[in-house]
Amino acid sequence: MPDSPPAGSSPPQDPPLAIRIRRVLGRREIGLLLLLATLAAGAWIFLEIADEVNSGDIVTVDERILMLFREGNNPNDPIGSHSVESAVRDVTALGSLTVISLLTLITVAFLFLSRRPRLALYMFVASAGGAALSYALKFLYNRPRPNLVAPEALPSDPSFPSGHSAAAAVVYLTLGLLLAHTLARRELKVYVVTLAILLTVAVGLSRLYLGVHWPSDVLAGWTLGGVWALACWQAERMLRQRGLVEEEAHPEPEDARVTA
């Protein structure tokens, strides 16, 4: 017969659920599950926003938020001085197709020169794919732009989702996550990723300030770009673990080094 517990002692209790999960799944598997849950949540949020946009139920909320960025007596005029408006236009350019394309090409060229051609190709495909998806969704939903500014001042493409917000999230977050992998110190990793997030947020807010996007456009752009960047980051990690993407830069050949 099995030994009975000593008198006065409490019977053994089952370990907490978190401990039992750790016994079944390793740390890497738990991280992957959390990431997949985050991606699924992001996709669900985007679809919910798109459904609200299609039904028209979000228009009132959009208008109220957008008016927070306008002078009370003149909805066509953003709050603040002309110098503030000029500064915001500079910020919004960080999410423009020109700046994003230049930054991507500079990064791709740097990776090629660093002897990481497969990572360079991956970065190009990830950035171009995110931008292509954003513009495809624009013409799928075909939402009109806000009417707060003169029509000739508005971009000609549809409003939903915000291309600037999505592109900034795709490129800046992807670059930040990839760069964080190469850094040893934790505080530097946090700094790089935080900077990428702040740039993404600043670009989106600048679109609201200028009155060229509805708030739901920007939120959808952030969500779309963030989900895409996280998916690309995880895909890059898996490719790197399988040796399909370079882990580190290849060393210079001996005959190419300058000897003293």
Catalytic residue, candidates 82, 164, 181, 250: 164
Q: What is the DSSP string of 210-250?
A: TTSS-HHHHHHHHHHHHHHHHHHHHHHHHHHHTTSS-SSPP
- The end-to-end CA distance of the chain, in Å, is 81
Give the residue carrying structure tokens 């002309």: 82
Q: What is the largest CA-CA distance in the chain?
A: 89
Is 213 an annotated catalytic residue? yes
Catalytic residue of the set 82, 181, 213, 250: 213
**Chain centre to alpha carbon of residue 107:** 17
The CA distances from residue 26 to 19, 34, 125, 190, 241, in Å, are 11, 13, 31, 24, 16
Give the number of other CB atoms < 10 A from CB of residue 227.
22
Residue 200 contacts residue 145 (beta carbons within 8 Å): no
Distance CA 170, CA 227 (A): 8
Catalytic residues: 164, 213
